[in-house]
Structure 1
């Protein structure tokens, strides 16, 4: 039984009126119900899924260990060949003959008066067959050094072309010569001009003013210049070279080598074979009768064209002896029959 209430107006008075209706099968009314959605899992075979799950959960876990796996691999593929671990550090190579770095154990510390010595290279006086330090180092480069050098050259040729790379190399050589000439002028002028700021020397060519500004702080620590652009020769080992400078750096007598670079070289390892070159010059000077003193230390100064402060790498006596032995090995490689 369904009772429906209606509102009826009677002369301004509102009164409710009830009407009773008989309704059968109310729950079957289509407009009040929605169709049942079908579950996506209704088509799954639940019994089969349950059986599969039980079989997986009840499976035995493998009891194999790394040792048993290795034994199985050896049975199938054969025994494993293991590399033998090195028993000690790699043996350091030594020269066959240890030529002395110093002419004597005692070194002269007396200061020489007068201008710096400069012994020019004269190939006409029996020196035509004596190889230079630069030539020996170039012809005994390691395969790795040759690889990187050739790669750098190929990259530069690709960027500049053959003629452009040739002009670039000539400009570098010219700048190096101008830089060394400017240094020679300052070092031979005495301490007064040496302590003067490089920016106050407009007589230097524009190409080297940045380099001179770069080394200005190093020049302040240099004194007692003994040799500039001077030839040194080792008669026993039969080689020669031209030392850039021999002077005191912060009170220590050194063979000084001036270098220019387009890239920063803040560490000694960045200078490649330059320490070997300095040790070779010092060893030749110590065994050259033209020089009455001995030098145990070295200095490599790397100057930059943009004027940024140069890096000064000092080589003490212990390092110089290490690089001297390396030089003797390179010298043996050069002299051995090929």
Structure 2
């Protein structure tokens, strides 16, 4: 019986390739019964693919091997993405900001006239040159008009958006009344500041009865700028017209005086919202630079001004923000003003 079983095993080994415990035994290799019994005792190895769905895996391999390479290029892929997701908005790199426009002609900000009285006495009443708009006189555009007509698209958008929201809240007539009140308060505020500056006394120096002579609408504004007025001295001009004959524009400067010892063109502004940073004042620094440049070119003034000050007053009496413009900043805003002048000339 033993011999018969051994023959059968030997015959089987010549007919097929035998795999025992992962060992491939080629044909014509004899196996003894002892070896065969030992191989049966080897532990089976578990393949990591034993639990895989062989049918799905086979389909995946066939699809990958039979697929053709896509004919799309980066350009066509970008076009497809743009059609599906919209255009790609690329953010500027940190080092690259919006390019600043430069004027085609850099007119001087400060004049070097031989007749200039650099040390003109600062005593005496401040100048107040009235604006003459008589008949027969050629119209000269104002600084305010030029700035309004050369607003950037973003400025126009936000201004119109604010206007629509106010009309939606107040109605057409309510918005008109609101605008009239703002204009009236601004005019009363400037008149009160002019009175204080020409009288040579600050608000704190006035008696309570003298303070009450100002309209109630401006009491908060005056309280707001009281700390600024305390640092203003040597007032040279108040609500005085300045004109640049070469560049053909004019404006009315609110005040020319020394602020903490530095001669400045001062612009008084009112606001319902806090403006703690210079960037919150929009075109106000450009306006101040335009006034200073005109004053420096105007023969009615025998001195030059290289610095500026934008003062933002608040109706609730909270402390006003005073934004100082040194000579370097004024020169930069002067260049911006020259660009706006060029835009205005092109519109005409």
- TM above 0.5, yes or no, is yes
Q: Give the conservation status (yes or no) of the 8 Å contact 1:198–1:209.
A: no
Question: Which of 191, 196, 220 is 2:205 aligned to?
Answer: 196
Q: How many residues align?
A: 277
CA 1:162–1:108 in 2, change beyond 3 Å: closer, same or farther?
same
More helix per residue: 1 or 2?
Answer: 2
Q: Give the conservation status (yes or no) of the 8 Å contact 2:231–2:260.
A: yes
TM-fit CA distance, 1:298: 0.3
Whole-Å separation in 1 of the counterparts to 2:170 and 2:341: 35
TM-fit CA distance, 1:126: 6.1
TM-score by length of 1: 0.75
| Superposed structure 1 runs of 4+ greater than 6 Å apart | 50-53, 81-86, 197-200
Whole-Å separation in 2 of the counterparts to 1:91 and 1:261: 30
What is the root-mean-square deviation of aligned Cα atoms in Å? Answer: 3.1
TM-fit CA distance, 1:261: 0.3
CA deviations 1:182-228 (Å, max 9, x no partner) are 0011001114x454279661111100000000000000000000000
CA 1:127–1:244 in 2, change beyond 3 Å: closer, same or farther?
farther
TM-fit CA distance, 1:274: 0.4
Matches within 5 A, 1:160-175: 160-175=170-185
Q: Is structure 2 residue 230 aligned with structure 1 residue 220?
A: yes
Matches within 5 A, 1:1-338: 54-55=51-52, 75-80=70-75, 89=96, 91-104=99-112, 108-124=118-134, 127-191=137-201, 193-196=202-205, 201-337=211-347
Q: Give the conservation status (yes or no) of the 8 Å contact 2:203–2:222.
A: no
TM-fit CA distance, 1:311: 0.3
In structure 1, runs of 5+ residues without a counterpart are 1-49, 63-71
Question: Which structure has the greater CA radius of gyration?
Answer: 1
More strand per residue: 1 or 2?
Answer: 1
TM-fit CA distance, 1:73: 12
TM-score by length of 2: 0.73
Q: Give the conservation status (yes or no) of the 8 Å contact 1:198–1:216.
A: no
Q: For 1:256, what is the secondary structure of its paired residue?
A: strand
TM-fit CA distance, 1:74: 8.8
CA deviations 1:278-334 (Å, max 9, x no partner) are 000000000000000000000000000000000000000000000000000000000
Q: For 1:77, what is the secondary structure of its paired residue?
A: coil
TM-fit CA distance, 1:93: 1.6
